[in-house]
Amino acid sequence: MTGCRRNKAGARAVGGADPLGTIDEGANAMPTLWTRMRAELGDSDAQFRMAERLRPVDVAAAVPWYRRAARQGHVAAQTMLAFLLANGIGVPPDPRRAVSWYRRAAAKGDVGAQNNLGFMHEHGAGVPCDPAKAALWYRLAALQHSAPAQVNLALLLLDGRGVDRDEAEAVRWLRAAAEQGHPAAQFRLGLCLREGVGIDRDPAEAALWLQAAAAAGDREALTALAELRQTTPPLRTGDGEGAGDGEGEEDAMEWRHQVERRPMRSVHAEAMPPG
């Protein structure tokens, strides 16, 4: 019963939105003259705003402004600069420097930096691979209600990598993230409930979480839901009457058809973009 654990296909940290998502549209996306003047005079908040407004249209032009703000201790700028360096967006990839900036922001309590620093340690990007350190950073962010960090910590707990294996604690973190609407958490929690890993087996609740993840675009969740509906006896209603003998199989076939005909996106990402 290992389906809810991290596997080769899902052995990545989980994240959120497109790192190049815009903050403004149209003409408002360009920096105002006032913002530029303040940024040139050394205002770190203005420098960060300059970078944020430039990022949707020219990431490379935004990087120097992130760097200027980061050097003055601007935490959000440090985290974003680290993310860009780690992923080679707008700059040549430089994992070691990314780790350095993540550390500065993480030490100040930034949850995105803590989660992503954990990712760097887990996967040996810019630092030696060290799942134990990864778990420490994930936990700090998870305690601050970061859903991606809660999922990342849960996956380490399920595998017993860097921490003692604790399936029950893993399920608690998955539930915390799932209740925040995180699709990857909903998928993993659904699998744990389906298989009885870290929690009593509950096909009905498993179906609810798998359906939530599938609705968010997780093809794996849609497949798992189809399998669950095919193998689980029809649930009975409050009056004790259940579905007909053929309904469960027909329902499962319908979910399988959805898997085949719907273009789905993966909800799993390598790291959590700041924002």
Angle between the N-to-C axes of helices 203-215 and 183-195, in degrees from 0 to 180, rounded to the nearest 10: 160
We report the CATH number of the domain holding residue 145 as 1.25.40.10
Residue 57 placed within a domain? yes
52 occurs within a structural domain:
yes
Tokens of 260: 């085949």
Coil, strand or helix at 208: helix
The answer to whether residue 271 sits within a structural domain is no
CA torsion angle for 174, 214, 221, 139 (degrees, to 10)?
-20
Report CA torsion sign: 11, 275, 186, 223. Answer: negative
With respect to residue 18, please indicate whether it lies within any of the assigned structural domains.
no
Q: Is residue 146 part of a domain?
A: yes
Asked if residue 230 belongs to a domain, the reply is yes
What pLDDT, on the 0 to 100 scale, is given for residue 21?
A: 38
Structural domain contains residue 220? yes
How far apart CA 82 and CA 87 sit, in angstroms, is 9
Look up the domain containing 247 and give its range.
36-261
Supply the pLDDT for residue 230: 85
Answer for the pair 258, 222: CB distance below 8 angstroms, yes or no: yes
DSSP bridge partners of 236: 242
Phi, psi of 198 (to 5 degrees): 75, 0
Tell whether pTM > 0.85.
Answer: no
Low-confidence ranges of the chain (pLDDT < 70): 1-31, 233-273, 275
What are the CB-based long-range contacts (under 8 Å, 24+) for 173-178? 173/142, 174/150, 176/142, 176/145, 176/147, 176/150, 177/147, 177/148, 177/150, 177/151, 178/209, 178/212
**Number of domains forming the structure of the chain:** 1
Is 98 among the domain residues? yes
